[in-house]
Structure 1
Amino acid sequence: MFRFANPEFLYLLFILPVLLAVYVYAYLQKRKAIKRLGNPKILSQLMPEVSPKRQFLKFWFIFGAVAAIIFVIAGPQFGSKLETVKRQGVEIMVCLDVSNSMLAEDVSPNRLEKSKQMLSKLTDGFTDDKVGLIVFAGDAFTQLPITSDYISAKMFLTSINPSMVSAQGTSIGAAINLAARSFTPNETSDKTIVLITDGENHEDDAIGAASAAAEKGIHVNIVGIGLPKGGPIPLQGTNNYMKDKDGNVVITMLNEQMCQEIAAAGKGMYVRADNTNSALKALQKEIDKMKKTELDSKVYSEYDEQFQLVAWIALFLLIVELLIFDRKNRIFRKVKIFS
């Protein structure tokens, strides 16, 4: 497969017909000037060192060099390659709660959007680390396998919403178990799970899952999102709030005690995320303390740069053009290569 990295520079090719038109115009004007002086055949005998064909050939070398330089600027790319990059970093699996209670607006703009904003800023601070993303509600699903492709991670973040998981609830244990299985096998760097949840509707053995992860050397850090006093859950697309079977507005509250117990079992940190950046700073500090080791990260590049050959062609044409003189050398005047 072939493409140009910067195809917009191909518009510079419109310079070539302009260059050709200028050359033809100058050539015709020169012929008219010579005819005004006399018979061109007689005048050519009076100027034996002048070689119109040399000048013609020099122009085409310049023309070809300009075209080649434009192609170099446009960045021709062809083929594909797989590179292995050595990185010094850690591995981080993010588990994000996408249950309906995460739509509560007790933190601004709501719990889910606040979580996504925090994770986006956290990802901006990564350099050589690996990150993966799991979403969960009643079930847990891998949204992004562990990778060093931060652009993809941020892209997946923007598309997350509660409708991604049809089964509602908060299966924190399932998310931790899935995250623990998602790290790179035999990797010696520190590994951590960053789980963001409001802790509501706890359904499975999250404490047991966190303890099992800790036994494998995986720290489970919990970010409690929301406020203990809680807030109602907006119904998307309406101005109403979620109600229970008796018609009362449901108030979802941060289950801070549950979050703290899970963090303690996972030998990790618990921090509450509110309307400040304190949780983000605490997470960044915790990750910075982790042991960074060399990670093998394979980077797939679909296109490989191929400008070198075109650049050598441009250089060759320019050198040849410089070596061709406008006039014949007196020593080689009888050599009929150019005239």
Structure 2
Amino acid sequence: MFRFGHPEYLYLLVLIPILAFVQLIFRYQRKKKLKKFGNLELINHLMPDVSYVRPVVKFYLLLLALALLIITLASPQFGTKLETVKRKGIELIIALDVSNSMNATDVQPSRLARAKLAIERLADKMVNDRIGLIVFAGDAYVQLPITSDYASAKLFLSGINTNMVPTQGTAIGSAIRLANNSFSHQEGINRAIVVITDGENHEDDAIIAAKEALEKGIKVYTVGMGLPDGAPIPVTPGNQSSFMKDNQGNVVITKMNPALLKDIANVGEGKYIPANNLRAGINDLIDELGGLKKSEIESKIYTDYDDQFQYPVALIILILLIEFIILERKNKLLKNIDLFTVDEHKRDEEI
């Protein structure tokens, strides 16, 4: 796996052929000027220490060094890198209700869509914290283990829908208990759970689950999605022409249960946020979470690309060293082992 971190610098490589062409022109002009003084073979004998090849070699070495410098500026990257970083933050797990009632549109564009927007807003405001994601309906599942990678959190969030959990229902207590067991094993970290649901709990005792969380030092916050008057549940998400009906053929109206969500938040020493005041409520939640004491968190982060600029830099140093060692004129002490001696006729042609 290979890429350039700043590929825009590679456009500078166009300078290499331009400079090479300019150098050819100068050599041609020099050859023309020398011919004005007489026979080239005679001139060469008059200047025995002058080398016509060394300056060319030095020039192309500098040209190669320039090309490598441009590649270095483009930041070559390849391989994978595992980094261990230490940050001060908290751990937060969001439990999101994905039961069919979350498709209701009493909160626009729908309860679930509004909840996902709220989570995105929350993730955008988090700094140096860990975040995890649980989805639940009749059962609860870990969608994203606790992580510091907010981009991954948003990616997983985008794929959430009400078809993810096969068992319908609203098992808030199961979601809270699963969240309790999904935090890291590192000690001394402040933790919180945010349950986003319409509150229609039919499966278990969420109050007891919130007490269990508080006993572990984990605060529980609730965000109510929906309005007290309720709304019908679309058979197909986004389609308002067909709604779910009960056994008697009546359209099912789903209503938010604010009383239960308030009780859960009170027992969990958190806070209840109603959907009709979601923007201000999320801001308050962010402030409350920000007020929790930050602890040092050690995280391992995978990066797909690792900078490898040291290799072209090493080559540049080596090339410049060689260019410095090579003299433009022939060395009298080493003239018998001149590596740059070429056939006289070929040299005349190059001049």
TM-score (norm 2): 0.86
Give, in angstroms, the shift of residue 66 of structure 1: 1.7
Question: Could you tell me which residue of structure 2 aligns to residue 161 of structure 1?
Answer: 161
Asked if 1:126 corresponds to 2:129, the answer is: no
Q: Does the aligned pair in 2 maintain the 1:69–1:311 contact within 8 Å?
A: yes
Distance 1:109 1:275 in 2: 15
Give, in angstroms, the shift of residue 39 of structure 1: 1.7
- Please show how residues 245-260 of structure 1 align to structure 2 within 5 Å: 245=246, 246-260=248-262
Distance 1:239 1:117 in 2: 21
* Structure 2 SS opposite 1:24: helix
Equivalent residue pairs, number: 336
CA change 1:322–1:275 in 2 (3 A) is farther
- Please show how residues 108-257 of structure 1 align to structure 2 within 5 Å: 108-234=108-234, 235-236=236-237, 238-245=239-246, 246-257=248-259
* Structure 2 SS opposite 1:61: helix
Give, in angstroms, the shift of residue 43 of structure 1: 2.6
Question: Could you tell me which residue of structure 2 aligns to residue 66 of structure 1?
Answer: 66
Structure 2 spans left out of the alignment, 5+ residues:
342-351
Q: Which AA in structure 1 matches 2:157?
A: L
Structure 1 spans left out of the alignment, 5+ residues:
none
Asked if 1:274 corresponds to 2:276, the answer is: yes
Give, in angstroms, the shift of residue 36 of structure 1: 4.7
Q: 1:264 aligns with which of 260, 263, 266?
A: 266
Name the % identity.
48
Distance 1:259 1:273 in 2: 12
* Structure 1 SS opposite 2:210: helix
After TM superposition, what 4+ stretches of structure 1 lie above 6 angstroms from structure 2? none
Distance 1:219 1:26 in 2: 77
Q: Tell which deviates more after alignment, 131-140 or 21-30.
A: 21-30
Q: Does the aligned pair in 2 maintain the 1:108–1:275 contact within 8 Å?
A: no
Q: Which AA in structure 2 matches 1:313?
A: L
Question: Could you tell me which residue of structure 1 aligns to residue 319 of structure 2?
Answer: 317
Give, in angstroms, the shift of residue 168 of structure 1: 1.6
Deviation per residue, 1:229-274 (Å, 9 max, x gap): 1222233263424231333332221110111122222222111122
Distance 2:24 2:249 in 1: 87
Asked if 1:299 corresponds to 2:301, the answer is: yes
Give, in angstroms, the shift of residue 30 of structure 1: 3.2
Distance 1:121 1:137 in 2: 23
Give, in angstroms, the shift of residue 11 of structure 1: 5.3
Distance 2:303 2:15 in 1: 32
Give, in angstroms, the shift of residue 134 of structure 1: 0.4
Question: Could you tell me which residue of structure 2 aligns to residue 285 of structure 1?
Answer: 287
Distance 1:321 1:110 in 2: 69
* Structure 1 SS opposite 2:297: strand
Q: Does the aligned pair in 2 maintain the 1:107–1:275 contact within 8 Å?
A: no
Distance 2:186 2:237 in 1: 44
CA change 1:221–1:104 in 2 (3 A) is same
Distance 1:237 1:128 in 2: 36
Deviation per residue, 1:106-145 (Å, 9 max, x gap): 2222211111111111111111111100011111111100
Question: Could you tell me which residue of structure 1 aligns to residue 349 of structure 2?
Answer: none
Q: Which AA in structure 2 matches 1:227?
A: L
Distance 1:39 1:71 in 2: 44
RMSD over aligned Cα, in angstroms?
2.5
Question: Could you tell me which residue of structure 2 aligns to residue 80 of structure 1?
Answer: 80
Q: Does the aligned pair in 2 maintain the 1:241–1:249 contact within 8 Å?
A: no
Q: Which AA in structure 2 matches 1:41?
A: E
Question: Could you tell me which residue of structure 1 aligns to residue 44 of structure 2?
Answer: 44
Give, in angstroms, the shift of residue 176 of structure 1: 0.6
Distance 1:146 1:224 in 2: 23
Distance 1:73 1:299 in 2: 25
Distance 1:9 1:226 in 2: 52
Distance 1:315 1:135 in 2: 55
Distance 1:237 1:130 in 2: 33
* Structure 2 SS opposite 1:163: coil
Distance 1:288 1:107 in 2: 27
CA change 1:75–1:293 in 2 (3 A) is same
Q: Does the aligned pair in 2 maintain the 1:187–1:295 contact within 8 Å?
A: no
* Structure 1 SS opposite 2:53: helix
Distance 1:100 1:252 in 2: 10
Distance 1:100 1:201 in 2: 13
